[in-house]
Each structure stands twice: as structure tokens, then as C-alpha cells.
Structure 1
Amino acid sequence: MRPNTISLLYIGNKLNKDGFTPGVIETLGPHLQKEGYNVVYAGTYKNQFLRFAEMVWKTLTLGRKVDYILIDTYSTSAFWYAYFCGRLAKIIGTKYIPILHGGDLPSRLKRSKRACDKLFKKSYANVAVSGYLSYEFEKAGYKTIVIPNSIDISKYPFRLRERPQPKMLWVRAFHRQYNPFMAADVLENLLQNFPDSELCMVGPDKDGSMEEFRKYISLKGIENKVKIKGKLSKEDWIVLSENYDFFLNTTNVDNTPVSVIEAMALGLSVVSTNVGGIPYLLKHKKDAYLVESQNAKQMTNAVIELIHNSELASQLMLNARKKAESFGWEKVKKNWIELLSV
């Protein structure tokens, strides 16, 4: 089947217009449209009840008119959006494809086994965006296809930081599971020996953590060394990244964060916790530096080592850029076209 003859209903959290960080639906959907697929979206309301109602309504009213239903699937309460839409798709006889996100999905497989069996064993295919989720799902008895998240690599100009300085960038939503406080701890440690150290935080507030973070850095007396930009467009933070040499990923739970792939593409030295799917994405001292979760001392030492060992830092940057290029849409799209042409 040719893409321009295939219709898709894409269900997810399409909330960028309301100030939320763009989800995969807001990049994958337009990519598929450019390839010729006819895509209709559900999940555009900020209010959770209205968003769920729209998902159910469009599944019922449009489900029989499309060839496939794509469902972004997460581990939190949003899992139940995917579950009910998947069940409805099965009832009306339309092929549905859960797209697996969220580093804590393996826990959901254990907590909600009966629901997971109904959702993932009845699907047309389960798309895992990382080898980590594929491994965990296969181990639990669910078949998967690995299709990674993609980026438009042409939009990410690479710059090799030959002598990296402790100018650090953090890009993620402010949420406890992403542990922004660890970035502040790293900055505080670095300031003891590198008084010119800086930290820039980019991302919207999700659970009140931003205000807690402001109080945290104020108590530490380092607020003058921290810039909090809030939510920025992708284009704006790419420009902003020119002023920084390190990218800190401090999460307690993770899968395959697009922001980390973007940082790799730009030439930032990535220092990340080794949680969830991160070790499947990054290789320690090959294309990034990995440390234990909630261990600010290790992360601090990693930054210091890369400052002192610029040769290692440069090698990591070059390898990271090469890996990021494998996530370019021109390579990833072949997998989607193959999946949606059967």
C-alpha cells in the first residue's frame, strides 16, 4: 500500500500549544504526514477528562474509517487512555499499534498484568522506541518491533567543544522523577574549584518542582549561577546550547529521551544517570559519561574528568554525533513505512 492511500488515527498527548513539552506525537505525526499518510489526531485538550473523551469519541467515530490506530502508551495514569482506546479498536476491528514510551513501563507490566495482556497481546504490533523496552516486553511475553524516536538531524548543527568548560545545560520538564535538584548539587560542588561554573535549566513545570528548585538554589546561595528559562521552543534551546559545553541528564527513571539524542547531535558532552533505558542508548566513556542515580558526587567528578581530559571529551562528542545521526528521520522512516504497508 502506498502512504497516500493509508489513513491513521494517532492518539496521544498533543499539548504543545498549551505550554507542555512537545510529545512524540508532535514530531512523528507530521513526519508521517510529509510521507503522504493521512493522519487525524486525538488528545488535544489540556483538561484530562476532555482529552480522554476526545480519544474515545474519535476511536468510535473514526476508528472504522482508518487503516491503523497509533496509540502513544505510557506507564502512568495515561496508560489507561491507551488501554481503553486499544480495547475499543479491537471491538470495532481496526488494527491498533501501541507505541511504547516511559522508562517505568516494565513496572506497569507487573502491576496491571491482565490489562497489559489484553492491550499488548491483541495489538497489530507493539512498537518499542528503545532496546530496553523491547527487552523488558519480550521478557514479559509480548512481541515488539524496535523503531526509535527520530530527530531531523539537519536542524542540529554540530560543534566540537575542544576545551569544555563547566557551562552546563539541563533540558527536561521540572518533575521529581527527573530530579532537577541533582543538577544544582553538581553546580554547587563544581563552584568550589571552578568559580565560573554555570547552569541553565530549560523546561516547563509539571508538578511544582520548579518553585521548589528556586527555593533549593536560594538556600544554597547559588541562584546567581543558575538561569531558569522555563519552556523554550526547540529552535530557541538549540540556539541557547551554543553557550554551553555539558548536558546533564539527572533522571531517576528514563527510557530514550529525545533531549539527550538532541544534545549528542549538537556536540554537548553528555553526563547522565544510568537508569532504565539509558545504558541501551549511551555507552560509558564511548559516547557519554554514565553515573549512578542520585549520585551528584559522581556526576561532578565526571564533569571534572572531561574538563581535564579534553581528548576523551572530544572523542565522546564525535561518537555521540555519529550515534545521533542513526536517529535521523531518513533512516527511521523506513521502519514505519514497512510496518504500515502490510
Structure 2
Amino acid sequence: MSPLFQPLQIGPLQLSNRIVIGPMCQYSAEDGTPGDWHMVHLGQLALSGAGLLILEATAVEAQGRISAGDLGLYSDANEAGLARVLGAVRRHAPIHVAIQLGHAGRKASSRAPWDGGAQVRSSEPGGWAGVSASALPHAPGEEAPAALDAAGLRRVREAFAAAARRAARLGLDGIEIHGAHGYLLHQFLSPLSNQRSDAYGGSLANRMRFPLEVFDAVREAFTPDRPVWVRLSATDWVPGGWDVESTVALSQELKARGCAAIHVSSGGVSPQQSIALGPLYQVPFAQRVKAEVGLPTIAVGLVTEPEQAEAIVASGQADAVALARAMLYDPRWPWHAAAKLGAQVAAPRQYWRSQPREFKDLFAGAAFGAR
């Protein structure tokens, strides 16, 4: 069997294969609540045959949304909207579903990408003030956030825990905490964005303190027999910023606290980043975390071909591969990968008759009558 289609254990959760649909913001919620777009969007992805679907970055408080259209899990309306979508997915799709909980910090109050993605200042219609580790704007000319004080830190921690309790009520299979891409927890980790002089700034241990507190709060609030893991940016791609050595150190601390996996990405905290883009450009970071920490790792970043994903898993560079834009372009990517690699994939029986004749056993459990 292709290594890409072998089962994977993430804590107590067993995935049917190593293909993960990475979280992708849709900027299409209303006051944090999903609507018909999410029903259609998540429905098609849930039928893809991937082993795991991670819901897009979901804000734990309204102030923590990247944009006014971001998904949230901070209100009863948010929870009810997600329950509607997840109910349809569970009835019809053979896939595990997790959620990525996050807080945008100083990168909050932005326009959607198709509207340019620029910050909406708090003085503009629809804008609001951001918060961060320090009162430093993300980019020159942007409005500076407020540095979180002790009360603010408590509020955000509890917001993460409250969202985790909602996720447990929704029956989600796992939680990924968003500690990457320049959002709030990453802002605490990076010396480029964290210039505090208290117990949450300065040394590596101090800069890791708040993200670890958030992990502990989420782990305590979520269902004990379901996994919690973290997505990290392995490097800021800026000299003097967060780096892979710090990522390994944080991952070891997370492992000691019961973290089930590390989803390894990079960048996002500074517009000064200089990224060496290319196929599989982030895979070496996942490989190092896997080798030095021993947790299951998920690799991501310009993985587009089935042979690439299979080689990553077969060589031991990572335990799973996440796809995002490639899945938007081809929502049946796992089917096509299984066909290329001689594997089987789960598919709803309504679609079994679409199996090409040359791939007799492509769909697991498929049985055909007259055509």
C-alpha cells in the first residue's frame, strides 16, 4: 500500500490516510457565523477522501478575527451555525473534522484578500482596534495594537478555553491551535513583535509562556480523549526573528504538556520576510521537528503532486501532508492521488459509479450492479 494511504494515529485519533486538508480562511461568515457558503464549501471538501479536514482559522473572540468575514466560535450563534454545517458533513461524509482556533492579534481588522487585504483602521467603518504582545504595528503606516495587560491575557486565555468547550459540544474530532503566520500567539513568540519587559517577554522561555498557557487552557477545556495540536511557523525568514531552533524547543515543551502533533509552516510575522519559495520549501522544517521532538508532524507548503506527498511520508520527513490551495483547485485530489499511487480511498456510495473502469478497486467498499 502507498505510504500516503496508510493510517495515521494523532493521539487517540486514527486517520484513514496521511492527507490533511489544511485550514483555509473563506472570509465569508457573518458576525463569525457560517452560512450557506460554508455548507457548500466544506461539504465538497468533506467528500474528498482526505483523512482529516481542518476548519479554517476560527476566532476565539470577535476582536481576534482577521477580517469581518472570519469564522468565529465565541457566541451561541456561531456554535449553532457550525452545528448545522457539521451535522450535514457527518451524515454524508466519511472524514474526521478538526477546527483551528486562533486570534489575529495585530493582524486583525483587515479587508478580504479580494479587496486588497489592507488593514481597516479602528476609525474607519467596520474597523476595530487590535491587540498584541507589544504596541508595535505589523507594517509601517498601520495602526498600532494595544499591548495586552494582565486582564487582557486572562481574557484571551479564557476565550480560547471557551471556544474549546464549544468545540467539544460540537463533537469536533480535534483542535489545532494557530500559533503561526504572524497571528497573536506567534506575535508573543517572535522577538520581532514581542518587546515586553515582563514575564511574557525577553527570553525564549518568557516569550513561549503565553502560547503554552493557551495550550494548557485549551487542552484542559477540550474533550480528554480527543487530540489538541499546534500549528507553528518554523521561521520568520527575517534575521533575528523566530527560528527553527526555537520551534524545536517550543515543540518539546508542547510535547511534555500532551500536544498530539505539530503542523509546521513558516513566516507571516513581518513584511520584511524573505522566503525562498519553491516546491516542498517548508518540508525540511517538519523533518527537523519530527527528528528532534518525536511528535507526529504535518508538512505543508507547495506540495501539489501525489508523488511529492508520497515521497515526504515514505522518506520519514513528515507523518502527514496538508494541502490547501491544491485542494481548492482539485477537491478530488485524494481520489486522483489514490488512482496514481495504486491505493484505495473512501468515497460516498452515490459516487461509486464514477470510478473509471481501469481502477477496479479505487473506492474502498464499492460494489457495482448494472450500469
TM-score category of the 2 structures, normalised to the smaller one: 0.3 to 0.5
State the TM-score, normalized to the length of structure 2. Answer: 0.30
State the TM-score, normalized to the length of structure 1. Answer: 0.32
Is the helix fraction higher in 1 or 2? 1
